[in-house]
């Protein structure tokens, strides 16, 4: 009985194969951040393959896209509240929630900077192409902003 309940708690996974043959087993919440993969997974008629091949995306770029999607698909931290009936507590909860969201945005920006900081222009463009192929527009936007902000690529 305990094994069936633990199976219910196991998250669903999706396997992606890069053009150079590297397989990535990722959580479904991460895969659903990629519009193209989401369409394959959620197609009402066709069952998704056991491994989804990605013929245009190499392992290095797929790993970066997965890392980005993992960060952005994580749920926001949830605050527990002792008594939500008082208006002051409700206001404090909203302020705390806003602070958590701002903190998450700052953390994501730092993680994105770390992801991009050692990439040259060709690698960044390859990452943009991978993000576009997979339908991860936020990543394409982040790379473009990083290129604009980065002094070594300025005109």
Q: What is the pLDDT of residues 98-144, one digit of tens each?
A: 556 666 666 767 777 787 888 888 998 999 999 999 999 889 888 88
Residue at 111 is within a domain: no
pTM metric for this prediction: 0.72
Residue at 62 is within a domain: yes
Domain count, the chain: 1
Residue at 43 is within a domain: yes
Q: How much of the chain exceeds pLDDT 70, in percent?
A: 69
Question: Where are the extended beta strands (E) located within the chain?
Answer: 13-17, 23-27, 51-53
Per the DSSP assignment, residues forming a β-bridge with 53 are 17
Give residue-wise pLDDT tens across range 36-59: 999 999 887 777 788 999 999 999
Mean pLDDT across the stretch 84-105?
A: 59
Residue at 105 is within a domain: no
Which is it for the CA torsion 16, 22, 23, 25, positive or negative? negative
Domain range holding 142?
2-74+118-153
Residue 111: C-alpha distances to residues 71, 85, 90, 95, 117 (Å) = 8, 37, 31, 24, 10
């Amino acid at each position: 009985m305990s094994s069936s309940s633990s199976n219910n708690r196991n998250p669903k996974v999706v396997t992606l194969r890069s053009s150079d043959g590297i397989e990535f087993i990722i959580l479904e919440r991460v895969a659903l951040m990629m519009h193209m993969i989401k369409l394959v997974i959620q197609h009402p008629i066709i069952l998704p393959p056991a491994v989804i091949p990605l013929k245009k995306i190499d392992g290095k770029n797929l790993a970066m896209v997965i890392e980005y999607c993992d960060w952005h698909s994580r749920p926001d931290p949830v605050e527990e509240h002792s008594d939500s009936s008082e208006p002051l507590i409700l206001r404090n909860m909203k302020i705390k929630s806003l602070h958590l969201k701002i903190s998450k945005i700052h953390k994501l920006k730092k993680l994105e900077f770390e992801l991009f900081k050692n990439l040259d222009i060709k690698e960044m463009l390859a990452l943009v192409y991978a993000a576009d192929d997979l339908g991860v527009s936020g990543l394409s936007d982040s790379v473009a902003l990083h290129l604009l902000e980065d002094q070594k690529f300025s005109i």
